[in-house]
């Protein structure tokens, strides 16, 4: 059975209680998933990208496949700057 993957980028700031989805990107199964996810993170400056998997192309029923974190895109603020 074919699997369909969708990457969702998130903006995250623990100090400001921010956890907001930004964009969704379909993942091409023929491409290295980690490399493709890294490009999405760079494009959106996203510290978190979650990849979801579905058995259908319309993503009606999805489950979390894997989280990718990118420390280089973290907000950089700290609790003292609030």
Alpha helices in 1-82 (DSSP H): 33-44
What is the Cα–Cα distance from 62 to 51, expressed in whole angstroms? 10
In a domain, 26, yes or no: yes
In a domain, 81, yes or no: no
The tens digit of pLDDT for each residue in 43-52 reads 999 999 999 9
In a domain, 19, yes or no: yes
pLDDT score recorded for residue 38: 96
In a domain, 73, yes or no: no
The pLDDT of residue 23 is above 50: yes
What is the Cα–Cα distance from 17 to 30, expressed in whole angstroms? 36
In a domain, 80, yes or no: no
pLDDT score recorded for residue 71: 92
pTM of the model: 0.86
What is the number of structural domains in the chain?
1
Residue 28's domain comprises: 4-68
């Amino acid at each position: 059975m074919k699997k369909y993957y969708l990457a969702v980028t998130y903006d995250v700031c623990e100090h400001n209680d921010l956890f907001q989805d930004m964009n969704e990107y379909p993942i091409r199964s023929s491409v290295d998933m980690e490399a493709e996810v890294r490009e999405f993170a760079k494009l959106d400056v996203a510290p978190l990208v979650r990849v979801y998997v579905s058995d259908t192309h319309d993503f009606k029923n999805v489950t979390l496949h894997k989280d990718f974190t990118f420390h280089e895109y973290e907000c950089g603020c700290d609790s003292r700057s609030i």
